[in-house]
Amino acid sequence: MASISISFSPYALARPRVRNPGRASPKKHQHRNTRKLNPSRPQLKVGTNGKEWSSTGVEATTYTRLPPKEDFSLPSFDSSSYDLSSEVKLSDSGVATEIDNDIVLLSDDEGEEEDDNGVDDNLGLNYGKFEIFEGNYDSEMEDEDFDSDEDEEEVKYGKPADIFEGQAVNFTDNDGDLEEEEVKEKGVPAVMRCFDRAKIYVKAGNGGNGVVAFRREKYVPLGGPSGGDGGRGGNVYIEVDGSMNSLLPFRNSVHFRAGRGSHGQGRMQAGAKGEDVVVKVAPGTVIREAGKDEVLLELLHPGQRALVLPGGRGGRGNASFKSGTNKVPRIAENGEEGPEMWLELELKLVADVGIVGAPNAGKSTFLSVISAAKPAIANYPFTTLLPNLGVVSFDYDSTMVVADLPGLLEGAHRGFGLGHEFLRHTERCSALVHVVDGSSPQPEFEFDAVRLELEMFNPELSEKPYVVAFNKMDLPEARKNWPSFKRKLQAQGIEPFCMSAVQRDGTYDMICAAYELLRENKVANKEFKDEDPIHLNHVADMVHKQRTASINDFEISHDSNTNTWHVVGSGLQRFVQMTNWRYVDSERRFQHVLEACGVYKSLMKLGVKEGDTVIVGEMEMVWHDSYDNSGLSSMKGSTASIKWAQWK
């Protein structure tokens, strides 16, 4: 594209010299036009710079640690949405070798009662034969989302620095949380990552351009300017959709662009406004600007709608520029560009009660019994990969939403297992139900381990009110364990409940107890909400404020090597972007505005020299300074004598 080649005098051009009008297009550092200008006047030569199985087991075992290899016999299932047939066997990889070695080492170092095979007396688990569900889910749903650099990922697992009994093996060096986070993130299949996190791009619509037109009608001589204004660009809204309970839809659609405003037309016709775009999110979504910690919005209730990005203003047509001194304005503005942004969405489910517990404790079974939810249930740890929600109704007006979360392992807070990934969903619960597998060898141990994990993840979680459900009372082991478990918890001041989820025995009392807890706590939450009304359009207000900064606020920096002056200010930049160079008066107004806001004066004060390059926004100009200051205002026909429509 040819350079814009507009050469003009900032002060005293009676007739703007526009070469190739209408071809003006933003382009960076175009070659300069060496057209000769009247040396007696100050001249700037202008150029533009171009921007996410069900089988009922008989013998169920709860694991609070990683389970032994032999327990990992998977029933074959074809239609499952989760294909676990391709777990990575750590014993097959270099990683496993490292873990084996370290565990043996650990038992030696610590002098614990653990034999050379790494058998833990507590649970009878052979830690030397772990399998870990880490990464390699090769189901059709994951193919494209897995990082192909699997090898690279394994290399990242370092030798655990210090492992002692009771502590989970940490695959990373303790070097930095960042690395741990990275490895953990990669190990989680995309469908899980996308369940409650998403990154989206939003852009408001550009405003439509204003036009230059004149009324031509029979018997109406001198009809005057009739160019209409452009329509404003579409807005970007974020709305809470009560039917959504995950952010999975954002796996496929990431970009949301509002429509641009239509251009203005003759006969004073303003352009239509651009189409708004509404991004639907699940209740409980927290929104941040990408890369920043500050929370922009927290959308909790269905129907809430927040204006995030306002559309760009439509450019004014020449009818808007008519004034007493400029009755035939040949000028119109470009529409303002719509703002754009990358947003990070994080979902924290809005459930009243969260069901927590070790894998295989019977959490999903419990949810399926108390609500209409049909979560996957199997005699297998980590059956639940994503949280399930269920609504428990007592009668018409007493209902509560219950979330069943993936099982928690010891070490979950360090990224072991899956539960950690989703623990944040319990942050918004008012009460927790802690399901304990009564048939496990040591239910007390399991109970303590899970409590510890909650505390390690977020101390506030461990402070939430909770009820303990000792499950699987239909099994003889559980009935045997119950008296001692009850005694131990009572000693701690906790009154546990016992139930058999499968036989629906004791589940009603359980849920009534949870509801009671919830009622007490919800009152407190309500009071809090009343105190803190949310103003949902503040993001748009902030964006708007940033964009409409005063044109008088600018900074000038100088690069002495290239003799270039950069005039930087968001108000000025917006002005430059909205200036439509195809119209002849644009240039004069441009000079007028630069003069009025003090850019020329400041440049001269700083010592701008003849031939220096001045860059304002996307415009590149050449400075010509030979002029007579005193003669400016008196010059007839100069821009100074024309009253321009106010910049807004």
Ligand X SMILES: Nc1nc2c(ncn2[C@@H]2O[C@H](COP(=O)(O)OP(=O)(O)OP(=O)(O)O)[C@@H](O)[C@H]2O)c(=O)[nH]1
- Give residues in contact with ligand X (CB under 6 A): 56-57, 60, 357, 359-365, 377-379, 381-384, 406-407, 471-472, 474-475, 500-502
Compute the least distance from the CB of residue 87 to ligand X, in Å.
14
If contact means CB under 5 to 8 A according to the sort of partner, which of Mg ion, ligand X, none does residue 360 touch?
Answer: ligand X
580 counts as binding Mg ion under rule CB under 5 A: no
If contact means CB under 5 to 8 A according to the sort of partner, which of ligand X, Mg ion, none does residue 160 touch?
Answer: none
**Sequential DSSP letters for 339-404:** PEEEEEEEE----SEEEEESTTSSHHHHHHHHSS-----BSSTT---S-EEEEEESSSS-EEEEEE
For β-strands 613-616 and 17-18, DSSP reports them as: unpaired
Q: Which is nearer to Mg ion, 56 or 492 (CB)?
A: 56
- The token duo for 594 is 């630069």
Return the range that interacts with Mg ion (CB under 5 A); candidates 355-363, 464-472, 485-493, 577-585.
Answer: 355-363
Q: Which is nearer to Mg ion, 33 or 384 (CB)?
A: 384
How far the first Cα of the chain sits from its last, in Å, is 30
Phi-psi region of 291 (alpha: psi -120 to 50; beta: other; left: phi over 0): left
If contact means CB under 5 to 8 A according to the sort of partner, which of Mg ion, ligand X, none does residue 365 touch?
Answer: ligand X
Q: Which is nearer to ligand X, 359 or 390 (CB)?
A: 359
Q: Which is nearer to ligand X, 208 or 362 (CB)?
A: 362
Work out the number of other CB atoms within 10 angstroms of the CB of residue 632. 17
Q: Which is nearer to ligand X, 135 or 359 (CB)?
A: 359
Q: Which is nearer to ligand X, 249 or 506 (CB)?
A: 506
Compute the least distance from the CB of residue 179 to ligand X, in Å.
28
Q: Which is nearer to ligand X, 361 or 518 (CB)?
A: 361
SS3 433: strand
Compute the least distance from the CB of residue 364 to Mg ion, in Å.
3
Q: Which is nearer to ligand X, 226 or 365 (CB)?
A: 365
Helices 507-531 and 363-370, interaxial angle, to 10°? 80
Compute the least distance from the CB of residue 370 to ligand X, in Å.
12
Work out the number of other CB atoms within 10 angstroms of the CB of residue 360. 29
364 counts as binding Mg ion under rule CB under 5 A: yes
How far is residue 427's CA from residue 592's CA, in Å, rounded to a whole number? 57
Compute the least distance from the CB of residue 357 to Mg ion, in Å.
9
- The token duo for 405 is 């979360």
Return the range that interacts with Mg ion (CB under 5 A); candidates 138-146, 358-366, 474-482, 505-513.
Answer: 358-366
If contact means CB under 5 to 8 A according to the sort of partner, which of Mg ion, ligand X, none does residue 362 touch?
Answer: ligand X
Rg (alpha carbons) of the chain, rounded to whole number: 34
How far is residue 515's CA from residue 431's CA, in Å, rounded to a whole number? 9
Compute the least distance from the CB of residue 438 to ligand X, in Å.
8
Q: Which is nearer to ligand X, 374 or 526 (CB)?
A: 374
Q: Which is nearer to Mg ion, 61 or 364 (CB)?
A: 364
| Dihedral angle sign, alpha carbons of residues 64, 66, 68, 72 | positive
- The burial class, CB within 10 Å (0-12 / 13-18 / 19+), for 75 is exposed
390, HSE (Cβ side, Cα atoms, 13 Å): 24
Compute the least distance from the CB of residue 406 to Mg ion, in Å.
7
Using alpha carbons only, give the angle 505, 511, 515 rounded to the nearest 5 degrees.
165
Q: Which is nearer to ligand X, 383 or 591 (CB)?
A: 383
If contact means CB under 5 to 8 A according to the sort of partner, which of ligand X, Mg ion, none does residue 597 touch?
Answer: none
Compute the least distance from the CB of residue 369 to Mg ion, in Å.
13
**Which one of residues 384, 439, 471, 586 is an interface residue with Mg ion (CB under 5 A)?**
384
**Which one of residues 383, 481, 586, 591 is an interface residue with Mg ion (CB under 5 A)?**
383
Given strand 305-309, what is the order of strands in its sheet?
277-281, 236-240, 305-309
Compute the least distance from the CB of residue 81 to Mg ion, in Å.
14
Compute the least distance from the CB of residue 384 to Mg ion, in Å.
3
368 counts as binding Mg ion under rule CB under 5 A: no
If contact means CB under 5 to 8 A according to the sort of partner, which of Mg ion, ligand X, none does residue 382 touch?
Answer: ligand X
If contact means CB under 5 to 8 A according to the sort of partner, which of ligand X, Mg ion, none does residue 593 touch?
Answer: none
Compute the least distance from the CB of residue 457 to ligand X, in Å.
16
SS3 126: strand
Residue that the structure tokens 């093996």 belong to? 169
Return the range that interacts with Mg ion (CB under 5 A); candidates 42-50, 239-247, 380-388, 520-528.
Answer: 380-388
Residue that the structure tokens 């441009």 belong to? 590
If contact means CB under 5 to 8 A according to the sort of partner, which of ligand X, Mg ion, none does residue 449 touch?
Answer: none
Give the closest residue to 299 by CA, choosing from 243, 354, 349: 349
Q: Are 274 and 261 in contact (CB under 8 A)?
A: yes
**Amino acid symbol at 363:** K
Compute the least distance from the CB of residue 203 to Mg ion, in Å.
40
Beta bridge pairs of residue 437: 471
If contact means CB under 5 to 8 A according to the sort of partner, which of Mg ion, ligand X, none does residue 361 touch?
Answer: ligand X
Q: Which is nearer to Mg ion, 33 or 364 (CB)?
A: 364
Using alpha carbons only, give the angle 315, 317, 318 rounded to the nearest 5 degrees.
140
Phi first, then psi: what are they for 103, rounded to 5°? -70, -40
Contacts to Mg ion by CB under 5 A: 363-364, 383-384
